[in-house]
Structure 1
């Protein structure tokens, strides 16, 4: 069984620092924080109004992305009034900390459900990101271009200085697993993977944890943003593989990552698992699902870029 296509858009915002700056090794919190503040500044009609009581919240782009609420009596999950964030932000993933003029920083943004069709707002948002600047010193950047993933690959839909988008909404093709190259299949946890089992964060990663994470992510996104698709066949199929998938060589470690929350006025620990594992068992049947998760991520805090995975051929290595 393979995952059904989940409608989405995928854009790449390419910025260039205008001054030398020092960035953290993992840039997810840096980009997500300024992205949220900038989007609210661009999209909010009544900046002094609280989102839950604002009369225009139903049509507000900021509300759609950051305060995604549903009627608890009508949503896919009874009693739950919040939907998963309808976007996945992936910051520059290299660990290089020094940036400056001449070095581009690319930030990917995947949009689902109510976030689709918001590209014009997001272009203005990333221009505002450049004006607000990154780091505590508010170092400025320029938005050089925006690229979209379409059926023919990546193409530019906005270039600096343009007064229009060449296409305001580009539907991304469904993720496709690479053809089998033979040998062993590995799974790399690129950014910290945060999973819970029995209310506790998983530090000893098992094949069942992987299958449950795939089923949960698939089920949640399809229930809310699948346009009527039924997630249950996929959920049952994935959970039915428990006990059949095994790990071979593993090279995993827990990586602690700290961010400061302006909303909660405190530091937060967002650690998770990174490294790689070798997969054994019915891995060819699992490939399409892992390819899907490469794009949509797994686990918690995906709006910060956490839970990004990659599949590869060969033995596990860090």
Structure 2
């Protein structure tokens, strides 16, 4: 278990930390699969899903038919108010006001596949006490999709729902399944690594002093405090733990983070907006994307950093913002990616060493320092380069008859296949 500095002065803090770590907030992560009759060019935003979800959840769960929820006599037992109109509970370490009360769910749209743009996937995460409401939450999302989403009223047909574990593996899920809540091993972090990579998968939106925090000002203590704040808020409102993380523990963890070096930062700001029907104007939802590495004594902060992957961090988490991935740093890996049976032997003939040979590359497994060899489409090659890995392009001049065939090592050699390093970088727009 975590042990921080100055044990005599902070014995009570340590007991609180141990208690929190052994009774972490339970969660349920589901992936909903939909189909559209027409191609979907851009992911349907989390804000669009959230708005439609709230509308259909109220239609399904309102017990009185009242025009407003304020003052409703059914408030205490209403599924809608427990999920949408949440209020702060006890005074946690970082829970500052009732307006700060989080929602017990996250709607995180997945990227649209270029190969099949009619397939739409939505990740739904439910926390703590909201897990019991999973059936009505799912029914409301399915109804919202069938009614049409966004200004274009994109209609989606529901296909299936899967439960996703902490390793990204999909499995069957049923509302009455005893394994509906993520098992303890899903939360348990792996052994503390010598270093770690943090990949920001959706815009991280932090504000300090009323202003947006931009990439150059992001530090690891600031990032960790955002995670701790999110954990404290969710635990305080929806968790089973007696108390949220105490303020003294937060200060000690942030102090420990100050001794951890943040290196290899490749961060950028992405501007994006959503339309607010309530305020009748565009609202900014931009934030920080990219990656950075951590080196130092990660032991004190490692459990919180690891578990934060499923909580998100910063503003807009309920609609998928602030999602990040933690990669325990390992020795560099060289990937050979090819559908040709002879690629393995061809690489050996020309003296090109590799560690893993795959037909299809999951770019989420590629880390900074890795090398990827293959004939990848530009978008995947760009993802490889953005991760900090080297990309070596495997090419061979082919005539029409050879295209689409699986080639042997001899055929690749006769075609004088070559491996060249490519570097794909975003092009800056010319200044006006």
Q: Same fold by TM (over 0.5)? A: yes
Find 1:210's aligned residue among 195, 213, 223. Answer: 223
Query: How many angstroms apart in 1 are the aligned matches of 2:323 and 2:254?
Result: 21
- Matched-pair contact (CA < 8 Å) for 1:130–1:141: yes
Classify 1:119/1:289 alpha carbon distance in 2 versus 1 (closer, same or farther; 3 Å). Answer: same
Cα displacement string for residues 180-220 of structure 1 (whole angstroms, at most 9, x for unaligned residues): 676x4211111011112223221121122112212222222
- Matched-pair contact (CA < 8 Å) for 1:185–1:315: no
- Matched-pair contact (CA < 8 Å) for 1:214–1:238: no
Cα displacement string for residues 77-104 of structure 1 (whole angstroms, at most 9, x for unaligned residues): 576366211112222145759732xx2x
C-alpha RMSD of matched pairs (Å): 3.0
Relative to the length of structure 1, the TM-score reads 0.83
Structure 2 residue 138 is the aligned partner of structure 1 residue 130: no
2:48 aligns to what?
30
Structure 2 residue 309 is the aligned partner of structure 1 residue 309: no
1:176 aligns to what?
188
Query: How many angstroms apart in 2 are the aligned matches of 1:10 and 1:31?
Result: 18
- The residue matched to 1:129 in structure 2 has which SS? helix
Instruction: List runs of 5+ in structure 1 lacking aligned partners.
Output: 159-164
1:147-296 superposed matches below 5 A: 147-149=162-164, 154-158=170-174, 165-167=175-177, 170-174=180-184, 175-179=187-191, 184-203=195-214, 204-227=217-240, 228-232=242-246, 234-296=249-311
Cα displacement string for residues 252-297 of structure 1 (whole angstroms, at most 9, x for unaligned residues): 0111111112222221111110000111221344332221111111
- The residue matched to 1:64 in structure 2 has which SS? helix
Query: How many angstroms apart in 2 are the aligned matches of 1:266 and 1:46?
Result: 32
2:107 aligns to what?
89
Deviation (angstroms), 1:179: 4.4
Classify 1:287/1:70 alpha carbon distance in 2 versus 1 (closer, same or farther; 3 Å). Answer: closer
- Matched-pair contact (CA < 8 Å) for 1:20–1:98: no
- Matched-pair contact (CA < 8 Å) for 1:27–1:92: no
Query: How many angstroms apart in 2 are the aligned matches of 1:13 and 1:315?
Result: 28
Query: How many angstroms apart in 2 are the aligned matches of 1:82 and 1:243?
Result: 26
Instruction: List runs of 5+ in structure 2 lacking aligned partners.
Output: 3-17, 330-366, 370-385, 388-432
Which structure has the greater CA radius of gyration? Answer: 2
- The residue matched to 1:10 in structure 2 has which SS? strand
Classify 1:16/1:224 alpha carbon distance in 2 versus 1 (closer, same or farther; 3 Å). Answer: closer
